[in-house]
Structure 1
Amino acid sequence: MATKSKDTKLRVAAVGDIHVRENDTGKWEEYFKEVSEKADVLLLCGDLTDTGRVAEAEVLAHELKACSIPVVAVLGNHDYERDHHKGIRKTLVRENVHVLDGDCVVIDGVGFAGVKGFGGGFDKGMLGMFGEPMIKNFVQEAVDEALKLDGALARLDSENENIKKVVLLHYAPIKGTVVGEPEQIFPFLGSSRLAEPINRRDVVAAFHGHAHIGTLKGETSKGVKVFNVSKPILVKEGYEQPYFILEV
């Protein structure tokens, strides 16, 4: 792909929760061909596989051969289901997918930082690090994910302080994009801890999935645009081909 000029917008396509299965061979080829025509980069926001099997990742890797644009991804909770996430990551990296986990990549002048994220709740309902060790460990996981995201964004800033930064996650960083789900499960859909580095590091936009019946668009307390691009939401919103495009 030719390098774009400073003033040219990068067309970012994003989707999450595609849940590829072992019998999906051939299902995604036309989808990835179309995305390649409409966008300059594709973001996959977790739950790439349905049950966390490497065989499912192999099907996805084969289907991605039809994608002629760079692909950036994070893993989701389904990809961790069988503790085969390392094999899933390795399978996709072999197909030149940038699988981020506290990492970053720059594509045509736009920096992408990604982590899976974790739960813990939002705003005044956010779980605190108090009580039993099990609760503290749960909260610490969200803290660690937020720190990894902050580190990735800091590396982008160190390379170019004026770089446009985009975040991809699986779990939500704000409550606004999980609204529609039962409130009882909000603590398991994301954490406000993820929003802190997004706000502080001047991020342009953040994408996530995970909440299948949440809300497509929201924003952080500092006005950063957040998009829940879970495939079921895009289908519900009437996207004939479920991917969301933002020009950055």
Structure 2
Amino acid sequence: MSGENKKRIAAIADLHIGESDKGKWVDFFTEVSKNADVLAICGDLTDTGDESEAHILVGELKACSIPVVGVLGNHDHEKSRHKLIRQIMQSHPNVHILDGEATVVAGVGFAGVKGFGGGFDNYMLSMFGEGAMKSFVQEAVEEALHLDRALARLDQEHKDIKKVALLHYSPIKETVEGEPEQIFPFLGSSRLAEPLSRRNVEVVFHGHAHIGVLEGSIAGKVKVFNVARHVLHKSGYGKPYFLYEI
């Protein structure tokens, strides 16, 4: 475990738990529990967004003896059963699934949203044109607002606490590099980066971009890690989860 005033966060994304995964994650959660104080899961808990997959994951999490904080991903929304999936996940007493909310676990402040697409930097989509395009951009705007409000609650209620943000979509282009540029607008949005920087978040974890890059930053100030399990494996990280000490 970590030192007296240090906490170790294990982070992973894109578990994609399927019907055949029963019993396959017990060793993973057992090992994580020995090496970290908190486990962060950054979306795509399920593979097809079916509640039966969430039930399997909750069963596997019986092997996890540390608190779990997470957000849902696009796969968890696939069948529009995301509210049910969240309810099932939170039936486990140690699991917190955040959707525009904040919580304090092991003395660390966590704020979480799924996030959304929209593109990055000068190529970020604008609120212009057809109604469908405006709706797409509005979704990213609202997710950024939810994130800002969650972080603001931590600032108001827990001054000077270290803040960690959990997303599924990326707030920066850097950690999705390697994916086809044509799909960058569907992998994240720079709109998410502004509240993260302004609210002095220490570290951000996200997933979604399976062929992306492990590490980046927001203007060299806020550390960002793409902890999709595919990225961890590709990068040769050495563990099936990312460890960060705070």
TM-score tier, shorter chain, comes to over 0.9
Shift of 1:222: 5.0
SS in structure 2 at match of 1:245: strand
Q: Give the aligned length.
A: 245
Give the whole-Å Cα distance in 1 for the aligned partners of 2:2 and 2:152.
24
The secondary structure found in structure 2 opposite 1:154 is helix
Aligned twin of 1:216? 214
1:66 to 37, 41, 63: 63
DSSP-derived class of the 2:118 partner: coil
Match of 2:96 among 74, 95, 98: 98
TM-score (norm 2): 0.97
User: Residue 134 of structure 1 aligns with which residue?
Assistant: 132
State how far apart, in whole Å, the 1-side matches of 2:31 and 2:103 are.
23
The residue correspondences of 1:57-206 to structure 2 (distance < 5 A) are: 57-96=54-93, 97-206=95-204
Distance in 2 (CA, whole Å) between partners of 1:74 and 1:36 is 19
Which one of the candidate residues 30, 40, 51 is aligned to 2:27? 30
Q: What TM-score does the superposition give when structure 1 sets the normalisation length?
A: 0.96
Query: Do the aligned residues in 2 keep the contact of 1:31 with 1:241 (CA within 8 Å)?
Result: no
After TM superposition, give the deviation of residue 49 of structure 1 in Å: 0.3
Q: 1:5 to 1:156 in 2, by over 3 A?
A: farther
Identity of matched residues, %: 64
Distance in 2 (alpha carbons) for counterparts of 1:115 and 1:226 = 15
Amino acid at match of 2:76: D
Aligned 8 A contact 2:38 2:106 in 1: no
Which one-letter code corresponds to 2:133 in the other structure?
I
Q: Is the 8 A contact 1:19 1:48 kept in 2?
A: yes
Other structure's SS at 2:54 match: helix
Gaps of 5+ in 1: none
CA RMSD of aligned residues (A): 1.5
Structure 1: distance between partners of 2:5 and 2:140: 36
Structure 1: which amino acid aligns with 2:44? D
Structure-1 residue corresponding to 2:205: 207
Q: Aligned partner of 2:222: which letter?
A: V
Structure 1 position 238, deviation (Å)? 2.1
Moved over 3 A (4+): 4-7
Amino acid at match of 2:49: G
Contact 1:199 1:222 in 2 (8 A): no
Contact 2:2 2:8 in 1 (8 A): no
